[in-house]
Amino acid sequence: MRRSQALGILCAFTAVVVAAACGDDEVTGNGYNYDGGSTGDGSSGDATTDDGSTSDGSTTDGTAGDTGTDAAAVAKIVDINAPNSPTRAKDGDAVHVTGVVATSPIFVVSKSKTTCNYGVFVVDANATFLPYSGLLAFAGGPGTGDAGTCPGTSALPADVKVGDTLDITGKYSLFASTSCGKDPNPTPVPGKSPEIVVSASSKLGTATPPPPVVLTVDDLRGGFTLPGKDGGTDAATDAGDAGDASDDAAADGGTDAGGGGAVGDPLKYTGAIVELHDVTAKTKPDSFGAWSLDPSGLVVGSKIVINGANPSPAVTAGQTFTKLVGIGGYLDFCLWSIEPRTLCDFTPPQADAGTCP
């Protein structure tokens, strides 16, 4: 287990889930932020696992991004991704989508000296967003080396912006970090996030993405289970107010339901631009810019914001926002999150946002 997982996750995640085991109401650790192994200096120290896949879920065949061309019929994302679709892809199937619209700019998912992993959220080009019609397009490339910054080279165009339309081929993948479910890390519910591991892509033009989907926090937050003290699990339905999930049931391997409110299906909204109204910060941002909402505990990530050369959001515990916009259904380490894309996705905007549209 890496340094941030051995200390940051145990402290930060316990503070989020079990409320104040670390002696502070504010989450300041970095355990739940980044897919599979954040390091204390802000980079993700992803390594290759025994089966050849990266801890950031690069592919199902053990590469960080294939360079060949996958032969597959052109399909819509919803057709390969919706649970009840007769043409739903299986993990590892070759897929080809075209004309899909980027709802995020390209961003660094994780980085190390040997590998930089990139992502772009894309959705089918519809007038309104359809459930399950979005996912993450993921591609690996050369690492930072000694420079400390990623070179931007991968199977994705290096300059993808919101509204770019893309042609993408690759392999369909259902991903969760190999660290999820290993004590003290939670197991997310739903358990995995949909991706296309990109082998080839190109920009086709531009289009207007589907407008934001107005949701409640419960639509996005999903759930998780915690490893039990003797092999059982504590079940909690949110990331920030786990109720009595740490009581005696954990000691005897039982399952104890904690938290409040309904658990939604964040997979419906993966890649969608979503909008929450009248939300309050439960915590201030941790060292990676991630914070949570009160009382639900839904994680608000900053991966896309920070990768856009913005400072970490200047959020304080108790601060309220009349509107919060971001990408829905992102599995940020082992918890489901909403990911704002710019400092203008906050209302009121962040102090360093500049002129917002």
Going from the N-terminus, what domains does the chain have, and what CATH number goes with each?
Answer: 77-206 (2.40.50.140), 212-347 (no CATH)
- pLDDT confidence of residue 310: 64
pLDDT beneath 50, residues of the chain: 1-70, 229-235, 237-260
**How far is it, in rounded angstroms, from Cα 46 to Cα 215?**
33
Residue-wise pLDDT for 236-290, tens only, equals: 544 444 333 333 323 333 233 333 456 789 999 999 999 999 999 999 998 888 9
**How far is it, in rounded angstroms, from Cα 109 to Cα 55?**
11
Q: Which residue(s) pair with 320 in the sheet?
A: 280
In this structure, what are the phi and psi dihedrals at residue 14, rounded to the nearest 5 degrees? Answer: -65, -35
Of 330, 329, 325, 328, nearest to 357 by C-alpha is 325
Tally Cβ neighbours within 10 Å of residue 237.
24
**How far is it, in rounded angstroms, from Cα 313 to Cα 338?**
14
3-state secondary structure of 54: strand
DSSP 91: T
Pair 105, 162: CB distance under 8 Å: yes
**How far is it, in rounded angstroms, from Cα 2 to Cα 55?**
11
Q: Is 217 exposed, middle or buried (0-12, 13-18, 19+ CB in 10 A)?
A: buried
- pLDDT confidence of residue 262: 60
Place of tokens 């990109």: 198
pTM of the model: 0.76
**How far is it, in rounded angstroms, from Cα 276 to Cα 280?**
11
Pair 332, 279: CB distance under 8 Å: no
**How far is it, in rounded angstroms, from Cα 192 to Cα 174?**
5
Q: Where is 322: in which H helix or E strand?
A: strand 320-332
Of 287, 244, 234, 263, nearest to 19 by C-alpha is 244
Pair 60, 171: CB distance under 8 Å: yes
- pLDDT confidence of residue 227: 86
Pair 32, 9: CB distance under 8 Å: yes
